[in-house]
Amino acid sequence: MSEEIAKISYNGNTYDMPVVTGSEGETGINISKLRGQSGLITLDPGFKNTGSTTSSITFINGEAGVLNYRGYSIEDLAEKADFMEVAYLLINGELPNAGQLDDWEKKVSYHTLVHEDIKKILDAFPAKSHPMGQLGAVINALSTYYPEALDTDRDQEAKDLTMTRMLAKMTTLCSWIYKNTQGHPYMYPQTKYGYVENFLYMTFGHRTEEYVPDPVVIDAVDKLLILHADHEQNCSTSTVKIVGSSKANLYSSIAAGVAALWGPLHGGANQAVIEMLENIKKDGGGMQKWIDKAKDKSDPFRLMGFGHRVYKNFDPRAKVIKKAADDVLDKLGISDPVLELAKELEQKALNDDYFIARKLFPNVDFYSGIIYRALGFPMEFFTVLFALGRLPGWIAQWKEVNDLSLPIGRPRQIYTGPQSRPFVAVKDR
Ligand code: CMC
């Protein structure tokens, strides 16, 4: 950390604030003592310019389109690692050696079974309820089956077990939610399968017939999960961290993250992109009309899957996903007119002054839905897949809050309501 100082001047006084420098050279002013010294707070709606924490997990350079997990580039990890290695890396800080990986996979696989009563909870949901609503509820419910996890100050081994359980049971929960929405009987995890294989087996397998997941599908899902595995202090991760900072248990903190991810401006965008492309197809009125709608400030419509708070250049995940979409559809022999529409829309937007001036590029959600659809997932399930991928990141970031004993997250505000006034009895109002 450097010893540099930034000076803030106000009302004739100057306050020295330390400048913090990260390992990739970004700098920030630590203003945590500003209010104590000057009475001032900083105001930054949406935290557009506020670092909530230091973190050693994920690095993004939005201007250069760089994304690294623990120092490894997303391109390398997507090409050379598998999701279990990446989950280990995020949670434990280093890539596992062969023995550690084997041990990790066995441990995760061993804990995939969930309590039978989870079925009763799932049965209670209306048949058409959104899978993300179900997911948040059953993840939170895990806290009731493991009450010892409510104590977040237990020894490391006990905390590790909770993190392993969370990761392991997620595949079963997601698959059972899928089965629930289809009205089909639940499938049980098989310890002989790896993480992604097991998930696909429980999701698409049936009790009535043999099901062997297609290696093309396993690879595609694995890669998509890696690309979603962490993204530093985004909306859902910040939610997990702020909930975790109150010493709330891991399961409930993750459930809060699921709620944040669901929104269409965040993870829910992958569903919204396909809905938008389907509407464009149905409308048949050409692409320009939709570009114009997105640019019209009096119209709430936005080009879903475009733009990002941090990336002001191509989202590196979108580059990998775009290529994967072509490969997967090709290997599975599927031709989806929506993929062609997406490419056409991307080209139009990338050449439009409005999108150029605002540095709006396709993000991770622009092409992911096209792959999910080709693999047979229903649209409403897409954000569940995002959550499945993001889980190791949420766990790692929750662990970081816990390990560093970070203070409880509690932003300040500038109050703009009525000034203090006397109470008026109801008869006098
Ligand atoms: N379509 C049209 N205009 C846009 C879009 C878009 N998709 N995104 C941003 N803009 C405009 C926005 O209107 C604003 O214009 P102006 O400067 O004239 O007021 C400017 O670009 C800056 O946008 P912003 O809303 O201030 O940027 P933000 O950082 O607050 O929002 C965002 C980021 C991702 C919420 C936004 O770009 C958006 O709504 N995109 C569509 C939803 C989407 O694809 N979300 C997935 C994000 S990636 C996955 C994830 O991490 O969740």
Helix (H) / strand (E) containing 316? helix 316-331
Interhelix angle 156-182/250-262, nearest 10 degrees: 40
Q: Ligand 1 atom closest to Cα of 266?
A: 52
The residues lining ligand 1, judged by C-beta closer than 6 Å to any ligand atom, are 46, 231, 234, 265-267, 269, 294, 302-309, 358, 360, 363-365
Please give, one letter per residue, the 3-state secondary structure of 128-140: CCCHHHHHHHHHH
Per-residue pLDDT, 3: 78
- Averages of pLDDT over runs of 10 residues in the chain (429 residues) are 85 97 96 96 96 97 95 97 98 98 97 97 94 98 96 92 98 97 95 95 95 92 97 98 97 98 94 93 89 96 94 91 89 89 92 96 91 92 97 98 92 97 97
Residue 67 CA to ligand 1 center (angstroms) comes to: 19
Q: Which of 130, 230, 308, 315 is catalytic?
A: 308
Question: What's the pLDDT at 285?
Answer: 73
Query: Which pLDDT score, from 0 to 100, does residue 1 have?
Result: 47
Residue with tokens 């559809």: 329
Name the closest-CA residue to atom 34, ligand 1: 308
Sign of CA dihedral 167, 86, 361, 279: negative
- Residue in the block written with tokens 């995002």: 386
Atom number of ligand 1 nearest to Cα 234: 51
Instruction: Tell me the C-alpha distance between 91 and 70, whole Å.
Output: 10
Nearest-atom number in ligand 1 for the CA of 46 is 30
353 is catalytic: no
Is residue 222 flagged as an active site residue?
no
pTM over 0.75: yes
Nearest CA owner, ligand 1 atom 51: 266
pLDDT of residue 132: 97
